[in-house]
Chains A and B, each alone.
Chain A
Amino acid sequence: MKSLGSIRRKFAPWNDPDAKPYIVFENVTKKFGDFIAVNDLSLAIFEREFFALLGASGCGKSTLLRMLAGFEEPTSGRILLDGQDLRGIPPYRRPVNMMFQSYALFPHMTVEKNIAFGLKQEGMPAAEIDKRVAEMLRLVKLEQFAKRKPHQLSGGQRQRVALARSVAKRPKVLLLDEPLGALDKKLREETQFELMDLQQELGLTFVVVTHDQEEAMTMADRIAIMDKGQVMQVATPAEVYEAPASRFVANFVGNVNMFEGTVADRTQDTARITGASGAQILVENAADTVAGADVAFAIRPEKIRVSSKKPADAVNALEGEVYDIAYLGDMTVYHVRLDDGQMVRASMLNATREIDDPLTWDDRAWISFRPNAGIVLTR
């Protein structure tokens, strides 16, 4: 398969067979009574990686993080950090620090005391603590707030104090539990980039838990999609989006159109899929499907073209009716109801100010896409 998306940095230890993972979850299971929060999960995270655990609430992502921090012990399985088994090591002796979703700033201490707390526990000399605290305050741009108490700060400032406090000890791994969840949208976007810069600057391994896929896509080197205590896919943001491993992942990340059908016949590179209504589409990326298999063809809305006439060169073209149009400025989203009843979502970039092929509600329309625009899913 060709490489997907742009490569932000030349950093991909997971493709290097000699690279040794830094954090390893080995068949980890965690039960709370009868409830299985994490189910026989294995995962490897590399040094200096920005790793995101993405999933809906209750999927076990936070439990995974808390096990790494030492607040929960796995019911079975092992967690290794730099080769060392973490079982039985209490949170206060683990070389990892966590940034809490609630920030958990100590309300009775000033900003600088909060940041100094962890350093004091190490028995660092006072002069050095002062130096480190000043450095941290500079890093998060809160120098003039050193003497304030947490309740005298805004949400964004509190978030930065929590961040400064959790990186002050220079942990090997920083765990972030929904780090931006409490911020408003604009601040969240700014902070995403700040976090990425910080991670680069300090050279730390970041493990972030989030339910916000955009956040995970923006920040992470790799994303683990979780559901019901299991990892559904671990891949780069581009792979997760363009080459999801299953219907669940395809549906979970971004918008997707699914064409369910059976493989009618296939050649070396292509497969012909027949839908329930008899419509046929020719696709690539069919991996190892065989003729007769039940599959789904998943295609993202921006890879579908909508036009009033059937494009002459189109390999795959299906006819329908415009059901709904949403004009978003930068693009227009069309909902087209195909003649077999399936609803298809297509988004078209408004690259020019005038639209050459204006479509409106209830118009007859054709959707078309190239054979390699989507991916065939068997799971």
Chain B
Amino acid sequence: MNTVWSRFNIASIVLGFAFLYLPIVLLVVFSFNESKLVTVWGGFSTKWYVSLFHNQGLMDAAWVTIRVGLISATVATVLGTLAALTLTRYTRFKGRLLFSGMVFAPLVMPEVITGLSLLLLFVAVNLDRGFFTLTLAHITFSMCFVAVVVQSRLLTFDRSLEEAAMDLGAPPVKTFFQITLPVILPAIVSGWMLAFTLSIDDLVISSFTSGPGATTLPMKIYSQVRLGVTPEINAACTILIGLVATGVVIASVVNKQREVQRLRDEQIALRG
């Protein structure tokens, strides 16, 4: 393709990317800063990464975050998939519209309200706030995201696949595990990943529903920043960015390869 790079085009691209990435670049650069002052460059160093791994508070918070993320994403995926199945399959039960609206309401609900209402509930039923309530809250809000992702896959799912399986002698439960589940698995996996990501970076709802001993990484970082940003925090964030970026890159490369493979297969099929 012969694109003419006019000055306007170049300026738009530079400005656009600068707007998106300059803050992140600054954060990464200053995580390698020798000086303790966040905004003054004092030479290259990795000492903040070393000290980060010795900061017990941050490491504990990271561990809590990962555990909450794994548990809540898994439970939310199961519940969300079930909700999606019900909503796409049983289209004729009473109150379906209300039910589907209620499942998706948390998507647009301000987090403060979700957090506050959960807090009120936990207080009302006299549940001690901590790891358990935190996980429950994360399941609550991430479940509907899973439901949305899985439901959109199920809407394009060819029901005759299930009928074919039953026609060939597979009872409904077997049909679900041998046909339906494998076919919608990619959607369930991306639902899980979405839930996990949401859980990892949630701050507002976590702050409402967590208790002593169950501080997540975002909560920890936020509370430390209030005392002043240290390069240690920058280092922690850089690691997080690195992890997320790696995940995104791997996912898109895998996707791309599968797409290429599919196109090649289709070419073969057309020829043969």
Q: Contact residues of A with B, CB < 8 Å?
A: 69-71, 90-93, 96-98, 100-102, 104, 106-108, 117-118, 121-122, 149, 151-154, 157, 165-166, 169
Contact = CB atoms under 8 A, between A and B. Distances in A.
Contacts of B165: 106, 117
Given A151-B266, A157-B269, A102 B160 contact: yes
Interface in B156-192: 158, 160-161, 163-171, 174, 179, 182-183
A92 B268 contact: no
A169 B171 CA distance: 16
Nearest to B267: A152
Contacts of B265: 149, 151-152
Nearest to A116: B168
B109 interface: no
11 contacts: A92-B171, A97-B167, A100-B160, A104-B158, A104-B161, A106-B161, A107-B183, A108-B182, A121-B169, A152-B266, A154-B269
Contacts of B269: 151-154, 157
A108 B180 CA distance: 10
B161 to A, nearest CB: 5
Contacts of B163: 69, 71, 91, 98, 100, 104
Contacts of B158: 102, 104
A91 B160 CA distance: 13
B202 to A, nearest CB: 34
B270 interface: yes
Nearest to B266: A151
B95 interface: no
Contacts, number: 74
Given A71-B163, A151-B269, 19 more contacts: A69-B167, A90-B166, A91-B163, A92-B169, A98-B163, A98-B167, A104-B164, A106-B161, A106-B165, A108-B182, A108-B183, A117-B168, A118-B168, A121-B170, A149-B265, A151-B266, A152-B268, A152-B269, A154-B272
A315 to B, nearest CB: 55
Nearest to A96: B167
Contacts of B169: 92-93, 118, 121-122, 169
B183 A121 contact: no
Label chain B's interface by main secondary structure.
helix
B262 interface: yes
The 8 closest A-B pairs by CB, nearest first: A118-B168, A121-B169, A104-B164, A104-B160, A152-B265, A91-B166, A100-B160, A108-B182
A297 B269 CA distance: 51
A239 B182 CA distance: 49
B183 A154 contact: no
A92 B170 contact: yes
Nearest to B162: A104
Nearest to A152: B265
A98 B163 CA distance: 9
B155 to A, nearest CB: 16
Which of B158, B262, B270 has most chain A Cβ within 10 Å?
B158
A2 to B, nearest CB: 43
B78 to A, nearest CB: 21
A115 B174 CA distance: 17
Nearest to A97: B167
Contacts of A97: 167-168
B270 A92 contact: no
A117 B170 CA distance: 9
B172 to A, nearest CB: 8
A69 B168 CA distance: 10
B267 to A, nearest CB: 10
Contacts of A169: 168-169
A92 B166 contact: yes
Contacts of B268: 152
Nearest to B168: A118
A71 B272 CA distance: 35
Contacts of A108: 182-183
Contacts of A70: 166-167
Interface string B244-264: 000000000000000000100
